[in-house]
Amino acid sequence: MAGKRLGNQTVRLETPPRIISTASIAGPKEGEGPLGHTFDLVLEDELWGEKTWEKAESKIVRETWSRILEKSGKAPEDINYIIAGDLLNQCIATTFGLRESSAPYLGVYGACSTMCESLSIGAMLVDGGFADNVVCLTSSHFCSAEKQFRFPLELGTQRAPTAQWTVLGCGAVLVSSHGQGPAITHVTTGKIVDKGIKDANNMGGAMAPAAADTIVSHFKDTGFTPDYYDLVLTGDLGIVGKAICDEMVGEQGFNISKKLKDCGLMIYDLNKQDVHAGASGCACSATVFAGHIYKEMLEGRIKKLLLVATGALLNPTSTQQGETIPSIAHAVTIEA
């Protein structure tokens, strides 16, 4: 077995790359939420002066990219790879947003798990000696996602109580071989898990088994126990998914109840903001990590984090054809 591998799904990074900077931009609704003050920029409206939702999302990507360069003092030539993705078909929000980035680009798709997918690849590239600086970035936009995955915004329908609200925003993380910041020490890559859920309005229920599978594999591969961590942070399981994930991990001998939080339950105020079962979208874990969590780690309030972004790998065609929802979760250990 390759020297850096632990168990079936995990790698240990020998020289753990550092997260030396983050940047985040969020929409107005996210700005009104409890984490509103942690984002670098909160937009006043969802179009941001653009003509279409898609253009607006690309602008958010472009501006987040500029901001992370600005905040870290890096030039585009310093960045060896951008690893990025979003929810729109063929990841156009990202590619159009990064057209003028002039840095080597790898596009990835893991639905809402994309942040951890890009962090995993980025960290391994840096640890492997293939890169010094990698920017990992993901975005989503409520309006463009609704248009592509669900119904027109003006259609008078009711959202199901299990539905989740796609985060409007973009988060970027700079993973580097040199510098100060929390380090990525382990990467656990998820398997595709499908427990037969067909309801696209209940993605938390569909994704929970994937999250549980990855978390349990992580503990088994590394030998860590839940006590090792200050926080196990899932991406966007929402109310339903978080409860199921907690139970599923627990019944396999790892009690994470006290450590488990979900980005999808942090970014909005569920009592005041009408989001039903919580938040979702690539930008959910990306903005929560790049904003709130990164600050908590820098200030020492969180020392050991297992970040587990979760993705529902469906598309509108598969939903219409009555397919079940394959899901995935990727985990990275981040230690301050």
Partner 1 sequence: MGKKMVKDFTHKEYRDYVEKKSPKSKVLANTVKAFVVGGLICVAGQLINNFFTSRGMEKDTVSNLTSIIMIFLGALLTGLNIYDNLGKFAGAGSIVPITGFANSIVSPAMEFKSEGYVMGVGAKMFVVAGPVLVYGISASIIVGIIYYLLHY
Partner 2 sequence: MMFMKVLYAFLVGGIICAIGQVLIDKTKLTPARILVLFVTTGAVLGALGIYEKIADFGGAGATIPLTGFGYTLTRGAFRDVDQYGLLGAFTGGVRAAAAGIAAAIFFGYLVSVASKSKAKR
What residues make contact with partner 1 under the rule CB under 8 A? 51-54, 147, 151-162, 195-198, 202, 205, 209, 212-213, 239-240, 243-244, 247-248, 251-252, 277, 324
- C-beta of 190: minimal distance to partner 1 in Å? 14
CB under 5 to 8 A by kind: which of partner 2, partner 1, none does 230 bind?
none
Contacts of 197 (CB under 8 A, 6+ apart): 205, 206, 324, 325
- C-beta of 81: minimal distance to partner 1 in Å? 32
Considering only residues 3, 158, 271, 299, which one is a binding residue for partner 2 as defined by CB under 8 A?
158
34: enclosing H helix or E strand: none
6: enclosing H helix or E strand: strand 5-6
Note whether 327 and 191 are within 8 A (CB): no
Going residue by residue from 18 to 47, which x/- string records binding to partner 2, judged by CB under 8 A? Answer: ----------xx--x------------xxx
> Would you state the structure tokens that stand for residue 268, as one six-digit string?
């909005």
Cβ nearer to partner 2, comparing 32 with 78? 32
CB under 5 to 8 A by kind: which of partner 2, partner 1, none does 162 bind?
partner 1
Write the single-letter amino acid at 326.
Answer: P
CB under 5 to 8 A by kind: which of partner 1, partner 2, none does 267 bind?
none
Q: Is 48 in the site for partner 2 (CB under 8 A)?
A: no
> Would you state the structure tokens that stand for residue 126, as one six-digit string?
């840096």
Among all chains, which residue has been given the structure tokens 């900077």?
21
Note whether 168 and 27 are within 8 A (CB): yes
Sign of CA dihedral 317, 320, 321, 325: positive
Going residue by residue from 188 to 227, which x/- string records binding to partner 2, judged by CB under 8 A? Answer: -----------x-x--------------------------
- C-beta of 248: minimal distance to partner 2 in Å? 24
d(CA 210, CA 47): 34
CB under 5 to 8 A by kind: which of partner 2, partner 1, none does 240 bind?
partner 1
d(CA 242, CA 212): 10
d(CA 135, CA 175): 6
Residues of this chain that interact with partner 2 (CB under 8 A) are 28-29, 32, 45-47, 53, 142-143, 146, 151-155, 157-158, 160, 199, 201
